[in-house]
Amino acid sequence: MDPPLPSSPHGEAINRLALLQRQPSLQTRYFKSMRIRFAKMHGLGNDFVVLDAISQNFVPTPEQARFLADRHFGVGCDQILVVERSSLPGVDFRYRIFNADGGEVEQCGNGARCFVHFVREQGLTDKTEICVETKSGLITPRLEADGQVTVDMGAPRFQPAEIPFETEVDAVLHFLAVGETQIDISVVSMGNPHSVQVVDDVDTAPVGTLGPQIESHPRFPQRVNAGFMQVMDRNNIRLRVYERGAGETLACGTGACAAAVVGIRRRLLDSPVCVHTRGGDLTIVWHGETASGPQPVMMTGPATTVFSAEIEIPNNLI
């Protein structure tokens, strides 16, 4: 048995040094470095670091995800997307999403379109329609002939417990007290929680101040993506979204779906809806609710690869 470590006024530091000297394997692990390959992509300015975890054994920890997302010390992105093999029969891939704050989330519509381009560009598949496992269920994105990607985002969910949202009533409109202000919102899950409010002008809407207050409101126990929607006509809206764990992004795919669904439910819009974000346009098709329940939401838009490279993960994050 090793003798006890000596006591010292600087006990903790000396104990750690002695432990490293006594166990070289720990010292080696502490100083080793790791290089990973990634692609930088975006969907209408909503940008991603995309990782192939099939050909390289790397899924980021929350600390590593925050480093990669940092726009000063890392690559910089709104979310990190990870491509893995799926263990489900008949499913092509597993797709995981980490926000810039390091938290793993259920779904990302702009990311799903980038996912399709990434797996084809990396030679992981030659399919144009791909079955993908996500934390919120299966999606089937399809590469169109013009290079855009259509994603079946699944059916929206409106039950408060499914979002989740704390309320005693199931309604299309809810009143939410934010500080001294009371606002009207609609809530919906597109595999992740969304709040949508109608505003007169998205350019002057208080997205930067009201957004984070809605995101972390106690009535949303898992936080929420806060959407600000301006209705232009029955087939066009302008949209800004303060995303959970990422802040305001130039575009939000699930947020576009949520806004279009809310507008159609409130009889303000008709399908198809062109959603104009600060990063570009998305087309959302939703045929409403039938006797069998809400119909799936179809989202179509572009995806762009910016560059591919390698980055070294800092030693203290390994």
Whether 304 shows a pLDDT value over 60: the answer reads: yes
Residues labelled as active-site residues: 108, 252
pLDDT average, residue stretch 50-76: 96
Which pLDDT score, from 0 to 100, does residue 316 have?
84
Taking the CA of residue 217 as centre, how many other CA atoms within 13 Å lie in the half-sphere pointing to its CB? 27
- pLDDT for 27-54, tens place per residue? 334 345 789 999 999 999 999 999 999 9
Per-residue confidence at 23, pLDDT binned at 50, 70, 90? very low
Extract the tokens encoding 295: 């119909």
Categorise residue 137: left if φ over 0, alpha if ψ from -120 to 50, beta otherwise.
left
* Lowest mean per-residue pLDDT among 38-47, 82-91, 130-139, 215-224: 130-139
Residue ranges in the chain assigned as alpha helix (H): 11-22, 24-31, 62-69, 109-121, 207-215, 253-265
CATH code, residues 160-295? 3.10.310.10
Q: Which neighbouring-strand residues pair with 198?
A: 229
Whether 90 shows a pLDDT value over 50: the answer reads: yes
Per-residue confidence at 169, pLDDT binned at 50, 70, 90? confident
Which pLDDT score, from 0 to 100, does residue 318 have?
75
Long-range contacts, stretch 162-169, CB < 8 angstroms, 24+ apart:
162/189, 163/187, 163/188, 163/189, 163/193, 163/194, 163/220, 163/224, 164/193, 164/220, 164/221, 164/222, 165/193, 165/219, 165/220, 165/224, 166/218, 166/219, 166/220, 166/221, 167/219
Does 160-295 match 34-149+305-317 at the fold level? yes
The dihedral through the CA atoms of 200, 251, 279, 296 has a sign that is negative
Going by the DSSP 8-state scheme, the letter that residue 129 receives in this structure is B
Domain 34-149+305-317, architecture per CATH: Roll (3.10)
pLDDT average, residue stretch 197-223: 97
Q: Which neighbouring-strand residues pair with 142?
A: 129, 150
Whether 110 shows a pLDDT value over 90: the answer reads: yes
- d(CA 35, CA 27) in angstroms, rounded, equals 19
Q: Where are the beta strands (DSSP E) in the chain?
A: 34-43, 46-52, 79-85, 93-99, 104-105, 132-134, 137-143, 149-152, 174-178, 181-189, 193-198, 225-233, 236-243, 247-249, 273-277, 280-286, 289-290, 293-294, 297-301, 304-313
Contact (CB, 8 A) for 174 and 185 = yes
Kindly state the percentage of the chain with pLDDT values over 70.
Answer: 90
Instruction: Tell me how many degrees the CA angle 53-27-309 measures, rounded to the nearest 5.
Output: 30
Distances (CA, A) of 260 to 42, 109, 142, 235: 22, 14, 21, 9
Whether 279 shows a pLDDT value over 80: the answer reads: yes
Q: Which residues lie closer than 8 Å to 251 by C-beta, 6 or more apart?
A: 43, 44, 45, 46, 110, 241, 277, 278, 279, 280, 282
> In terms of Cα–Cα distance, which of 122, 126, 128 is closest to 147?
128
* Lowest mean per-residue pLDDT among 67-76, 113-122, 135-144, 224-233: 135-144
Kindly state the percentage of the chain with pLDDT values over 90.
Answer: 80
Contact (CB, 8 A) for 36 and 56 = yes
Which pLDDT score, from 0 to 100, does residue 31 have?
44
- d(CA 139, CA 186) in angstroms, rounded, equals 24
Which pLDDT score, from 0 to 100, does residue 226 have?
98
Taking the CA of residue 121 as centre, how many other CA atoms within 13 Å lie in the half-sphere pointing to its CB? 21
- pLDDT for 180-190, tens place per residue? 889 999 999 99
Domain ranges across the chain: 34-149+305-317, 160-295
Whether 18 shows a pLDDT value over 80: the answer reads: no
Categorise residue 139: left if φ over 0, alpha if ψ from -120 to 50, beta otherwise.
beta
